[in-house]
Homo-oligomer: A and B are copies of this chain.
Amino acid sequence: MTAVTVAELAEFVDGRCVGDGSVRIEDVADLRQAGPTDIGFVRDLRFAALVGQSRAGAVIVESALDVRMPQIVVARPDVAFARIGLRFHPVPTATEHDLHPTADVASDAQLEMPVALGPHVSVGRSAKIGRGTLCGAGVVIGEGARIGRDCTLFPRAVVYPGTVIGDRVILHAGAVVGSDGFGYARDGERWVKIPQIGHVVIEDDVEIGANATIDRATLGITRIGRGSKIDNLVHVGHNCTIGEDCAMAGFSALAGSTHIGDRVSMGGHVVSAGHLKVANDARIGGNSVLYGDVREPGEYLGYPLQPKSRWARTLHVLGRLPELLAEVRQLRQSRGSNSRDDHPAADV
């Protein structure tokens, strides 16, 4: 790691340096584990006490604290910490043209120098890879696929033929982009495969997690919009579109033709039934199941999906169903002693 002064880092994140700006910083760390060459941060002032107990060389804060430790004051300490962290730990890309001797590159593939291909990488016919892109061990780029610049494909990521990937895209290990959508026509008792002849487009600055799968469209395009982030073990079905700057946490699935707007966030284990739309700026909590469109921005949760505050009440009742049943039984009994109705509507 190259050391850099607190003052330089403050400038790097458009922050204000308070205290000794000449202190040299080599890494980011949690304040509780930080040493004198580390910089930490406090998300907000509730955690300010951590600073006094820390051995960190500097700290990023929202507003200046009355401590001796050098500080960088910025509106968003978490963002500044992420930026500084990335400066010390950049996502690996290709800085020199370096094709491992075991990499197999089709003679008509076009690599824009520099590109780094690790061991046992395979690049298919007519594929294009932009400069700065690094493919880890065993990555497979299919025929005619186009990968942009400064991308990072971790080991064993597979890009099917014809897929188009933008710049600065990260694919984690085992991610599969462009596999066939799940489409069959039923012919009597048998399934006839509907050829999946569309493609996948992954726009700039997208990150896709380990062992996630993004299916190609039946006809047309499955699209992941610029800046969207998809976590591990997520399935995106054929012909889905995800807008820009979305975040989709792990272990989730979108059935075919789900259309997600911009800036939509989804917690983990969210499942969508397909053929539906989610409005821009919707925030969908974890463990939700979507059966219909989400028409307005806002916070949503539940199964079936509801406005979040409503689901909290539903969940409360769900947790008390045995008591609710007992109550209704008692009401029925007490009614029985008041009135002469018979034949209860149901035997609960």
Contacts and interface: CB of A to CB of B under 8 A. Distances in A.
Contact of A271 (B213, B244, B268, B304): B268
Given A122-B155, A321-B314, A189 B219 contact: no
Given A120-B122, A251-B253, A324-B325, 17 more contacts: A79-B185, A82-B185, A119-B120, A137-B140, A154-B160, A174-B213, A179-B210, A180-B209, A182-B209, A184-B247, A189-B245, A233-B235, A237-B268, A251-B271, A304-B319, A324-B348, A327-B345
A346 B326 contact: yes
A187 B76 contact: yes
Interface in A103-161: 104, 118-120, 122, 136-138, 140, 142, 154-156, 158, 160
A332 interface: yes
Interface in A239-253: 244-245, 247, 249-251, 253
Contact of A137 (B122, B274, B345): B122
**How many copies of this chain are found per oligomer?**
3
A62 interface: no
Interface stretch (A2-10, A18-26, A336-344): A336-344
Interface string A77-112: 011011101101101000000001010100000000
A182 B335 contact: no
Interface centre among A28, A231, A306 (most CB of B within 10 A): A231
Contacts of A187: 76, 79
A50 interface: no
Nearest to A158: B173
B213 A211 contact: yes
Q: Which 6 A-B pairs have the closest CB atoms?
A: A323-B346, A251-B253, A122-B137, A179-B210, A317-B321, A85-B195
A185 B41 CA distance: 13
Given A195-B89, A327-B344, A328-B327, A251 B235 contact: yes
Nearest to A314: B321
23 contacts: A30-B220, A76-B185, A81-B185, A86-B195, A104-B120, A138-B140, A140-B173, A158-B173, A173-B176, A189-B244, A191-B245, A211-B233, A232-B235, A233-B233, A237-B250, A304-B315, A314-B319, A317-B322, A318-B321, A322-B346, A323-B348, A328-B331, A335-B335
Interface string A21-41: 000000011100100000000
Interface in A185-215: 185-187, 189-195, 197, 207, 209-211, 213, 215
Contacts of A118: 122
A220 B237 CA distance: 34
A303 interface: yes
A347 interface: yes
A253 B235 contact: no
A289 interface: yes
Nearest to A184: B229
A164 to B, nearest CB: 17
A334 interface: yes
A68 interface: no
A156 B121 CA distance: 11
